[in-house]
Structure 1
Amino acid sequence: MTVILFELSFWLAAPVWLLMIFAPGWGPTARIARSPLTVVPVLLVYLGLAVPVFPELWTAVSSPDLETFRELTALADGAGAVWAQVIAWDLLVGQWMYLEGRRLGVSPLLMGPLLVLTVLLSPFGLLVFLGLRAARSRNLE
């Protein structure tokens, strides 16, 4: 069951990513991206994975250290829960980037690859976007 939930967390987020990347100008895309509810299905998967390992999860977050976190992620449900959490937060970051990009008039031809980078390596995508956003904001002043 853990493997199914692990994979499901990505597939629940994928439609929103696909809309933002491949249909950025379609009316419903912006409405969907504005909703924080898009992450609820992924968070339900997170709960399904986190509840069975809650004692280990609590220990890892209440007294964080590398070894405790390593022990959590050595458990299948622990690793799955961390993955689902990453998927959910990455989706929220991607939605914010998409909306900010539209607000600033960033071309979808630039935002699409940037969102793909964010799906794959969120911190890199976010850093590049923050730089682009700063430069774009300066130009709009």
Structure 2
Amino acid sequence: MTGFLFELAFFLAAPFWLLMIFAPAWRLTERVAASPLTVLPLLVLWAVLAAPVLPELWTAVSSPDIDTFRELVRLPNGAGAVWAQILAWDLLLGQWMYREARRLSVPPLLMAPLLLLTILLSPIALPLFLVVRAVRTSRAPARPYEPALR
């Protein structure tokens, strides 16, 4: 069951990523990306996975050291909970990047690879996006971001 929940985490996030990458100009995409509620299914899944290992999880976050963290992720539910948390964080980060890119009129063909990289390795994608953002900000004034309300 834990294996299924681990895989389910990706499928809960994938539709939002697909919208931002392949349909960036759709109003639905703008509305979805403007909402932090997109991560709620992942957080519910995190809670389901974390509940059975809550003592180990609490120990790992309240007194962090590498060995305690290794023990947590050796547990199937521990690894699954960490995975769901990573996916939720990456999705929120991707949504922010998407909204900033729209505000700064960054071309979708530039953003698509950056968003894909955010899914895979957000610690590399974020600094790259920050460079793009700095360049765009220095060249032209940004338009205020207004998510589609219709």
Instruction: Output the TM-score relative to the length of structure 2.
Output: 0.92
In 1, Cα distance between the equivalents of 2:73 and 2:96? 28
Q: Pick the structure with more helix per residue.
A: 1
What are structure 1's unaligned runs of at least 5 residues? none
Which residue pairs with 2:78 in the alignment?
78
Secondary structure of 1:25's partner? coil
| Structure-to-structure mapping, 1:49-128, within 5 angstroms | 49-128=49-128
Cα deviations by residue, 1:100-129 (Å, 9 ceiling, x for unpaired) = 000000000100111011111111111100
The list of structure 1 runs, each at least 4 consecutive aligned residues, that deviate by more than 3 angstroms after superposition, is: none
Residue aligning to 1:18: 18
Query: In structure 1, how many angstroms separate the alpha carbons of the residues matched to 2:12 and 2:40?
Result: 9
User: Which residue matches 2:27?
Assistant: 27
The answer for the alignment partner of 1:137 in structure 2 is: 137
Give me the identity figure in percent. Answer: 66
- State how many pairs are aligned: 141
The alignment partner of 1:121 has SS state of helix
Q: CA RMSD in A?
A: 0.7
User: How far did residue 136 of structure 1 move?
Assistant: 1.1
Structure 2: runs of 5+ lacking an equivalent? 142-150
Whichever residue aligns with residue 28 of structure 1, its letter is: L
2:56 partner letter? E
Cα distance in 2 between the residues matched to 1:13 and 1:96: 15
1:7 corresponds in structure 2 to: 7
